[in-house]
Amino acid sequence: MIAEFEEQEYVDDFGIDEIQREFPIQPGMSVSEVEKLATATDENWDYDTHDQVYNLGWGAKEIDAGEGWMYYWVNGKALFHVNLSIKDGIVQSVWVMPGNAEYVTSIYYRISGHGLRIGPNDLYPKRE
């Protein structure tokens, strides 16, 4: 019940369409481009204008022979989780999961690209 409320509140407040327009990672980017963007975003974080950008926070990845996933916990304009599907070393699709802090809803929305989401299942322990 709480997760459903938080998810709907997030979608109502921030909007998946808004995230799609503003989120910096797009299909077609290479893994190295994503990593450079994440590093640059982190190094240039401006707390005075953080409500106008998305900051890529903690990340994880599992890529073998150019295929797999990259994951980021994002904190800035809003809190959410992003999961990138990778094929041939290139981002195929970008998925976001509304959530706050460590509480995850487990429902992802594809905001760009094509293809199924692949990635981590339980990065955080479930709350009781």
What one-character-per-residue DSSP string does 37-65 give?
A: HHHHHHHT--TTSGGGS--EEEEEEEEET
Whether the CA torsion 122, 62, 66, 37 is positive or negative: it is positive
| pTM for the model | 0.77
The predicted-structure confidence for 21-61, as pLDDT tens digits, reads as follows 878 899 999 999 999 888 877 676 666 766 666 778 788 89
The predicted-structure confidence for 103-117, as pLDDT tens digits, reads as follows 556 678 888 999 888
Tell me what pLDDT residue 103 has. 54
CA-wise closest residue to 114 among 87, 89, 75: 87
Give the alpha-carbon dihedral of 34, 82, 59, 76, to 10 degrees.
90
